[in-house]
Chain A
Amino acid sequence: MRPDNLLYPAPKGLYCERGDFYIDPIQPVERALITHGHADHARAGHGHVLATRETLDIMRIRYGDGFCGASQVAPLGETIAVNGVTVRFHPAGHVLGSAQIAVETEGTRIVVSGDYKRRPDRTCRPFEPVHCDVFITEATFGLPVFHHPDDGAEIARLLMSLRQFPERAHVVGAYALGKAQRVIALLRQQGYDEPIHIHGALAKLCEYYQNEGIDLGEIRHATLAGESRQDFAGNIIIGPPSAFADRWARRFADPLAVFASGWMLIRQRAKQRGVELPLVISDHCDWAELTATIREIAPAEVWVTHGREEALVRWCELQGIPARPLHLVGYDDEGE
């Protein structure tokens, strides 16, 4: 079967006609396969959802019990038949529960990577390369400028700043699912054992990670209702990036704005957001990892989704690998 008959972009998302299902659809559909729990990939309101157990749990935490009509757990590595099409989930290394989805019929296999990274991350299973005819890769950081530094060195910069500015509250912006827990785990890995304070929006997900056996150490709420204004000098407070522009941030002593994101590599980005200490920590591949992954998997063809498709397509051309952009809309490539 020709790959572009097996999977193609439709208005509601990437569609498999033979199996009558969508992967990460952006609108409610009858049958959805979900790669991971980030809100732009995992939306509420589908009739039937197939995803890893962790992704289903995360969707339940975010949207409540009625987030879909019926759900089905996809155990990693197990073959599942969906209306005669074979699908298999493989770890993607992006956040807890994240998976790539291999879709196969009549000897043609397409792997939809979802979002993925290759760096070691103690909070999720590592990416597993899967041989395929077509590899659909994300390209969030698909430009040669993106070379994410070692995450340990970035965390060391945060710890250094705490020593240099002990009178200031270090307020770290990090996305609620994945990044926040990874930053906490990295801090623990470097021996930081003070309590870490979190914004209320992170509480349930941090608790879930801990129940899944990921040790985050002592977590305290920075914002319990009715609690008197505290000082927080010299403490680390982690919250969603949007909270720092908000009145919420005012309770902290002379806050020093930190932001953990792959975008922080670009100085102007940090400056525009008023970030004083940018930490380049990403849950996506950088350029070197994207190109190394394509080389490793050596697919017959590469399709590029959300992000900076044109540079990655150009690189594939230079390597003699057929490639094209998929032009999927609705994914938030800024949310990192």
Chain B
Amino acid sequence: MKAFAELLDRLVLTPQRNAKIRLLADYFREAGDPSRGYALAAIAGTLTLNTVKPQLIRDLLLERMDEVLFRYSYDYVGDLAETVSLVWEPPQERVTADVPLGDVVERLQMAGRSEVRSLVRDMLDQLDTSGRFAFLKLVTGGLRIGVSARLAKQALAEMGGKDVAEIETLWHGLSPPYLPLFLWLSGEADMPVLTTPAVFHAVMLATPVGEGDLKGLDPADFAAEWKWDGIRVQLANIGGMRRLYSRSGDEISGAFPEILDAADFTGVIDGELLVGGTIRSNRATGTFADLQQRLNRKTVNRKMLEDYPAFIRGYDILFSGERDIRAEPFQARRRALSALIDTASPQHFDLSPLVPFSTWDELDRLRSNPPDPVIEGVMLKRLDSAYVAGRAKGPWFKWKREPFNIDAVLMYAQRGHGKRSSYYSDFTFGVWTESDGQTVLVPVGKAYFGFTDAELEILDRFVRDNTVERFGPVRAVRAEPDAGFVVEVAFEGLNRSTRHKSGVAMRFPRIARLRADKLPRDADRLETLQAMIETKAPR
């Protein structure tokens, strides 16, 4: 438990992705079985334990501690698990022998309902402070350490020197404590053979079209499709099991029951999850903001299903029936997909239409001016390309439309983390609007990337030299019509928002250019942004 508790403590405070991966990979290398498998499950969210109510933990503590002293402590710390882990005093001399995480989990899994109370007390007495914290987070069911299942899989790949796609493919066929997986990763056994057909297959990804990438490529070798602004999913109905996965292999079946119900065909398809109407139903496709109403939910109510009906716009097919057709060329797979969707529920499935074009210039014009606001560009797929997991350059390209751009004024800055902890690198910017007859700045977004290191030096110097007020870690900077800093902000889209004072929310905002040549009075106005929502188009 000590090693796992130390890992959690480090992960919570480590901002860098690569540093997190190293911490995880080192832990997986050094921790024994089955502890590391349970740790993986706890982090990836696949561990099922009988959870314990916070009230039970509080009761156990108050058996030993004055309630007033507990209240002072809890008020100060603010988190029940952390408070209890800190104030808990084992009755006898501290037991120094470590209890492996594997033992803890197995004891919890075997405990009957009536035994839980004494088991929890016993564990708290045996563990040290960090161990108690990790244990309490486990049994109350909320680790919240800022590590996704995806990152954990990346760490497994790092540990074993494997491709993450292989781990994603195996993932859903394995279960805690993942003994065959770790044997394979540590080189002591072959790759595990799954008893059920692989449920999730690592998806094929596109590379962005870069400068000169299309030169020398023949448009006749490619098909083009619209790139829809939803989330990429894989839907599988194999061996009687229906599952919906995100592109990184997280299962999201529970949030989209109507799609699972409608998937009465056998096979595995790849597509975009969207809400609204299918092309076949002649109703409009919903925006990403609409789709967000349905994301990250464990369950869904009837009103949600009615207001935001979900469907899949088919891009590709991996298995036709029980047959793996990934090695067949795109054209052949497309025919199979088309035939499958023809007979599938028209409210829940449609086929992503092809975009006819004959020259790259023509396609460039189409991508810049798509016919539907929910399109964010085009996809290019070689007609002869097989379906290959990962992001190989060549077979598939994505060609996004140009981002939206506005000129905004820096208003607030906050220091970054890790490498950037000595830089003001998180910026809030605003545009002009009228309020009570005054022209004032209203914040419209936050950005912490897009600039070069040299530009960051300039921004940081500006913040330090022009701070007008401090609110804890945040500095307000000079922002007046004739004095301040203008930045060009690029973003992918704009939604209405009731949570922001400005009424708008940007998607993926970043600082595209520093506009030292402009005065704040030349920056954009809120009306410009509002017009962008209406037209859904960059200026």
| Cβ–Cβ < 8 Å partners of A276 in chain B | 10, 13-15, 19, 418
Contact bitstring B360-381, A, C-beta under 8 A = 1, else 0: 0000000000000000000000
6 further interface pairs, Cβ-Cβ under 8 Å (given A164-B22, A248-B422, A310-B72): A144-B65, A146-B86, A267-B9, A277-B10, A308-B76, A318-B66
| Cβ–Cβ < 8 Å partners of A265 in chain B | 86
For residue A4, CB closer than 8 A to chain B, the reply is: no
Q: How far does the alpha carbon of A247 sit from the alpha carbon of B26 in the complex, in Å?
A: 32
B interface residue count range (under 10 / 10 to 19 / 20 to 34 / 35 or more): 35 or more
Q: Which residue of B10, B23, B473 has the most chain A CB atoms within 10 A of its CB atom?
A: B10
Contact A145 B73 (CB under 8 A): yes
For residue B92, CB closer than 8 A to chain A, the reply is: no
For residue B78, CB closer than 8 A to chain A, the reply is: yes
A93 to nearest B CB, angstroms?
Answer: 23
For residue A135, CB closer than 8 A to chain B, the reply is: no
Q: How far does the alpha carbon of A248 sit from the alpha carbon of B421 in the complex, in Å?
A: 11
For residue B87, CB closer than 8 A to chain A, the reply is: yes
For residue A143, CB closer than 8 A to chain B, the reply is: yes
Contact B419 A254 (CB under 8 A): yes
For residue B12, CB closer than 8 A to chain A, the reply is: yes
| Cβ–Cβ < 8 Å partners of A144 in chain B | 65, 69-70, 72-73, 86-87
| Cβ–Cβ < 8 Å partners of A248 in chain B | 422
A85 to nearest B CB, angstroms?
Answer: 36
For residue A266, CB closer than 8 A to chain B, the reply is: yes
In the A-B complex, the 9 residue pairs with the closest CB atoms: A145-B86, A249-B422, A144-B87, A311-B72, A145-B73, A274-B421, A276-B13, A144-B73, A250-B422
Contact bitstring A207-228, B, C-beta under 8 A = 1, else 0: 0000000000000000000000
For residue A271, CB closer than 8 A to chain B, the reply is: yes
B81 to nearest A CB, angstroms?
Answer: 10
Q: How far does the alpha carbon of A125 sit from the alpha carbon of B373 in the complex, in Å?
A: 74
- Which residues does A use to contact B, with CB under 8 Å? 143-147, 149, 157, 164-165, 244-250, 254-255, 257, 265-268, 270-272, 274-278, 308, 310-311, 314-315, 318
Q: How far does the alpha carbon of A272 sit from the alpha carbon of B26 in the complex, in Å?
A: 26
Q: Which residue of A149, A245, A268, A274 has the most chain B CB atoms within 10 A of its CB atom?
A: A274
> Can you show 18 pairs from A to B with CB atoms below 8 A apart?
A144-B69, A144-B86, A245-B415, A247-B422, A249-B422, A250-B422, A257-B421, A266-B77, A267-B9, A267-B13, A267-B79, A268-B77, A268-B78, A276-B13, A276-B15, A277-B10, A308-B76, A310-B72
Q: How far does the alpha carbon of A244 sit from the alpha carbon of B421 in the complex, in Å?
A: 8
Q: How far does the alpha carbon of A336 sit from the alpha carbon of B15 in the complex, in Å?
A: 25
Contact B66 A314 (CB under 8 A): yes
B277 to nearest A CB, angstroms?
Answer: 45
Contact B13 A278 (CB under 8 A): yes
Query: Given A149-B129, A255-B421, A257-B421, does the pair A143, B76 have CB atoms closer than 8 Å?
Result: yes
| Cβ–Cβ < 8 Å partners of B423 in chain A | 250
Which chain B residues (203-223) contact chain A, with CB distance < 8 Å? none
Q: Which of B12, B129, B421 contacts A249 (CB 8 A)?
A: B421
Q: How far does the alpha carbon of A278 sit from the alpha carbon of B78 in the complex, in Å?
A: 19
For residue B68, CB closer than 8 A to chain A, the reply is: yes
Contact bitstring B120-133, A, C-beta under 8 A = 1, else 0: 00000000110000
| Cβ–Cβ < 8 Å partners of B415 in chain A | 245, 274
| Cβ–Cβ < 8 Å partners of B23 in chain A | 164
Q: Which of A147, A244, A271, A315 contacts B13 (CB 8 A)?
A: A271
Q: Which of A244, A250, A255, A271 contacts B12 (CB 8 A)?
A: A271
Contact A164 B26 (CB under 8 A): yes
- Which residues does B use to contact A, with CB under 8 Å? 6, 9-10, 12-15, 19, 22-23, 26, 65-66, 68-70, 72-73, 76-79, 82-83, 86-87, 128-129, 415, 417-419, 421-423, 473
Name which residue of chain A comes closest to B128, CB basis. Answer: A149
B418 to nearest A CB, angstroms?
Answer: 7
Q: How far does the alpha carbon of A265 sit from the alpha carbon of B19 in the complex, in Å?
A: 22
Name which residue of chain B comes closest to A314, CB basis. Answer: B68
Contact A255 B419 (CB under 8 A): yes
A57 to nearest B CB, angstroms?
Answer: 33
Name which residue of chain A comes closest to B9, CB basis. Answer: A267
Q: How far does the alpha carbon of A276 sit from the alpha carbon of B69 in the complex, in Å?
A: 30
| Cβ–Cβ < 8 Å partners of A315 in chain B | 66, 69
Q: How far does the alpha carbon of A62 sit from the alpha carbon of B12 in the complex, in Å?
A: 38
Contact B69 A314 (CB under 8 A): yes
Q: Which of A149, A245, A271 contacts B422 (CB 8 A)?
A: A245
Query: Given A164-B22, A275-B13, A314-B66, does the pair A147, B129 have CB atoms closer than 8 Å?
Result: yes
Q: How far does the alpha carbon of A145 sit from the alpha carbon of B85 in the complex, in Å?
A: 8
Q: How far does the alpha carbon of A272 sit from the alpha carbon of B65 in the complex, in Å?
A: 29
| Cβ–Cβ < 8 Å partners of A164 in chain B | 22-23, 26
Q: How far does the alpha carbon of A270 sit from the alpha carbon of B9 in the complex, in Å?
A: 11
Q: Which of B76, B417, B422 contacts A145 (CB 8 A)?
A: B76
Q: How far does the alpha carbon of A318 sit from the alpha carbon of B129 in the complex, in Å?
A: 25
B232 to nearest A CB, angstroms?
Answer: 33
B85 to nearest A CB, angstroms?
Answer: 9
| Cβ–Cβ < 8 Å partners of B72 in chain A | 143-144, 308, 310-311, 314
Contact A245 B9 (CB under 8 A): no
B47 to nearest A CB, angstroms?
Answer: 22
Q: How far does the alpha carbon of A266 sit from the alpha carbon of B86 in the complex, in Å?
A: 9
Q: Which of B10, B22, B76, B86 contacts A147 (CB 8 A)?
A: B86
B296 to nearest A CB, angstroms?
Answer: 23
| Cβ–Cβ < 8 Å partners of B83 in chain A | 145
Name which residue of chain A comes closest to B473, CB basis. Answer: A272
B142 to nearest A CB, angstroms?
Answer: 14
| Cβ–Cβ < 8 Å partners of B19 in chain A | 165, 276
Q: How far does the alpha carbon of A268 sit from the alpha carbon of B12 in the complex, in Å?
A: 10
Name which residue of chain A comes closest to B415, CB basis. Answer: A245
| Cβ–Cβ < 8 Å partners of B79 in chain A | 267-268
B414 to nearest A CB, angstroms?
Answer: 11
| Cβ–Cβ < 8 Å partners of B10 in chain A | 276-277
Name which residue of chain B comes closest to A254, CB basis. Answer: B419
| Cβ–Cβ < 8 Å partners of A314 in chain B | 66, 68-69, 72
| Cβ–Cβ < 8 Å partners of B76 in chain A | 143, 145, 266, 308
Contact A245 B421 (CB under 8 A): yes
Name which residue of chain A comes closest to B70, CB basis. Answer: A144
| Cβ–Cβ < 8 Å partners of B417 in chain A | 274
A162 to nearest B CB, angstroms?
Answer: 13
A234 to nearest B CB, angstroms?
Answer: 15
Q: How far does the alpha carbon of A154 sit from the alpha carbon of B419 in the complex, in Å?
A: 23
| Cβ–Cβ < 8 Å partners of B77 in chain A | 145, 266, 268
Q: How far does the alpha carbon of A300 sit from the alpha carbon of B6 in the complex, in Å?
A: 43
Contact B13 A277 (CB under 8 A): yes
Contact A267 B82 (CB under 8 A): yes
Q: How far does the alpha carbon of A274 sit from the alpha carbon of B424 in the complex, in Å?
A: 13
A148 to nearest B CB, angstroms?
Answer: 10
Q: How far does the alpha carbon of A270 sit from the alpha carbon of B10 in the complex, in Å?
A: 11
Contact B421 A311 (CB under 8 A): no
| Cβ–Cβ < 8 Å partners of A244 in chain B | 421-422
Contact B419 A143 (CB under 8 A): no
Q: How far does the alpha carbon of A105 sit from the alpha carbon of B468 in the complex, in Å?
A: 54
Name which residue of chain B comes closest to A146, CB basis. Answer: B86
Q: How far does the alpha carbon of A170 sit from the alpha carbon of B423 in the complex, in Å?
A: 18
Q: How far does the alpha carbon of A290 sit from the alpha carbon of B417 in the complex, in Å?
A: 36
